[in-house]
Structure 1
Amino acid sequence: MTDNEKALKPEDLTRLFVERANAKDAEGLAQLYEEDAVMAYPPGRQTVGRAAIQKLWEEALPHMPAFAPEEPLPTLISGDLALTSTPPKDGSGARAQVVRRQPDGSWLRVLDQPEFQKPAG
């Protein structure tokens, strides 16, 4: 595990994600997730577990453009769980994550829905 900054509040995860994605740091991105986290990506599929999330980013990041920072919406916190979200700059809907406070006080993603797709209709 690399020695990356930890998220000290839920909203930090969004900033850290953008920084690490733009640095093409797949391992650093994976460290933002709990060991058994679930990410709804690529669209229509789920990637389960930190190792699988890291592998996905190792394959995807070299082909992705730079990520732009997105202002987080107000976070909902209940005990050690929080719901974070951001409206994408491209206006495509929303991004949402369920995050959990860790024993050391930092926060990690448990569930990640990076893209909501509008239902066909």
Structure 2
Amino acid sequence: MCDEPVSALDASVRAQIPDLLDDVQQRLGKALLLVSHDLSVVRRVSDRVLAMKDAQVVEEGTAEEVFDAPRHPYTKSLLAAVVTVGTDAAPPGELLEAGGPKPTRPGMPPAGATKPR
């Protein structure tokens, strides 16, 4: 299991991790479970992908199916949120609206609010 394997790494090391994961998988002949918000790593390393919202699977399929033809609005908004060099980012709020209502957690303050002590 790889939980956010590149999240705390600088760019020079981060680029090497997908190759390392591929190598480990091939040498050991084992599957890897990758948990990540870095969609470029997910696409590069994964054969199958699950998209989750509020701890529920909203879409599943091969990496090609999910990345090239997402079906669920939340998956579409996640992929639209990936900013690449030379592209325009969506206006603030547009991505969440495309994916449905903003996520909420019972007992959690709204985003940006502080919890009273």
Does the alignment reach a TM-score above 0.5? Answer: no
Greater strand content: 1
Higher Cα radius of gyration: 2
Higher percent of residues as helix:
2
**Higher RCO structure (Cα 8 Å, ≥6 apart):** 1
Q: TM bucket by the smaller chain?
A: under 0.3
TM-score, scaled to structure 2 = 0.28
